[in-house]
Structure 1
């Protein structure tokens, strides 16, 4: 991506959020304003910092850091800073694979600690999620699963960089909602928002689920069927509508779990009526809460 001058990099005024963070920016200055403090803080704390570029030339990343006073060359030579590309890492296989990525994050943390770093932090550009790449349709599933499978058990901070210029607004809105922390300007409110549940395996659904939200529903179903451990919970208290086909998707996902079931928390009354009309779907589900 063509970058403009970044000599004046604004410093954040609020404390840096930890864990899994969506970062949305609209221009090159905003990009640099998020990049530089994040990398500088990690190096000062003795963490290894990794940057996975997609549309940005890795040399541009290094140059921006250097122009802001970060000794990026020395940090890279010492293994404290790794700047590479998504194409060489998690997009290097035949298709993007969220299952494989869960294991790779754990391996990356083990390696960083074994090499003497105090932790690991990473930035990943996610513009590739808007392109027709094998597995790109599983990006939302990946973002939703990361919270429980990676960020809760590991001392990891990772920022997902979303460029408004390269991501359709409707797709951006859904993906940003999959993070518990967000930096950058507001995004549109999607018809169906999915967010991980803090402290337990599951999702909160807000809005309406139907034919127009089938991409999000497929991703939510993948979380249900693939998440390890015991029960998966879906908090439906913010759900206004869920059609019978979406309910069938969840029931099928629940039947494919190796162990543990699917618990529906505080489902709206229309959904309860659907379960009464289609008891075969309710057989794989458990209703919890009033």
Structure 2
């Protein structure tokens, strides 16, 4: 449940009461450089760290953490570090189900997980969504809806987007669904954020406008 928690340092600023952020980077090297201090601070504070990555990326992420001096073996053994693949988290049975994902993140939230850690720092690498257009359409709507979960918990959730893999329209929509944003390596309150109910109304109206008379989408 939401409680008063100390601010979290991240990307040259702080995550205060609102902690759902989209972070736009030009490649993995830039992303890791900005995210590493946030992760190191989490390990030092005793927070749980959860990474959601593409299949096959786990070893590379572990190597980078070990190179930075983090004892990943101990952290995984005591439950402080957890990796999940996007297949496990987002694309179970090969499809993206928004309602199921809301349940998954509700369970991952520190107030419900029963893990013994004060809160979770969740880093979601979103490259998987760029592979299929329908994933992006569903993800845009989901990113707005999941704010209801994170507004009720203290966990810090960073959704990482590689600018080279997503089109301009998608980047704009993702900006409008996250109350906090990282651009140029700096965290700031997002001036483009829309309340979820307003954004969802706009998206659904937009989709109706793209329908042909026979009910198919243009």
TM-score (norm 2): 0.76
Q: Runs of 5+ in structure 1 lacking a partner?
A: 1-10, 187-192, 210-215, 222-244, 247-290
Q: Does 2:200 match 1:202?
A: no
Please identify runs of 4+ aligned residues in structure 1 that moved more than 4 A: 110-113
Task: Supply the distance in 2 between the matched residues of 1:170 and 1:27 (Cα, whole angstroms).
Answer: 19
Task: Supply the distance in 2 between the matched residues of 1:172 and 1:120 (Cα, whole angstroms).
Answer: 25
Deviation at 1:143, TM superposition (A): 0.6
Higher relative contact order (CA 8 A, sep 6+): 2
Corresponding residue number in structure 2 for 1:68: 68
Task: Supply the distance in 1 between the matched residues of 2:102 and 2:198 (Cα, whole angstroms).
Answer: 18
Conserved? CA contact 2:110–2:117, under 8 Å: no
Cα deviations by residue, 1:143-177 (Å, 9 ceiling, x for unpaired): 11111x21111122110000012112232222122
Alignment of 1:1-290 (within 5 A): 12-16=11-15, 19-54=19-54, 57-109=57-109, 113-132=113-132, 135-147=135-147, 149-185=148-184, 195-197=193-195, 202-203=197-198, 217-218=203-204
Question: SS at the partner of 2:117?
Answer: coil
Structure with the greater alpha carbon radius of gyration: 1
Higher helix share: 2
TM-score (norm 1): 0.59
Q: Runs of 5+ in structure 2 lacking a partner?
A: 1-9, 186-190, 210-218
C-alpha distance 67-50 of structure 1, shift in aligned 2 (>3 A): same
Moved more, 127-136 or 172-181: 127-136
Corresponding residue number in structure 1 for 2:214: none
Question: SS at the partner of 2:13?
Answer: coil
Q: Count residues in correspondence.
A: 194
Deviation at 1:95, TM superposition (A): 1.4
How well do the aligned residues superpose, as a CA RMSD in angstroms? 3.0
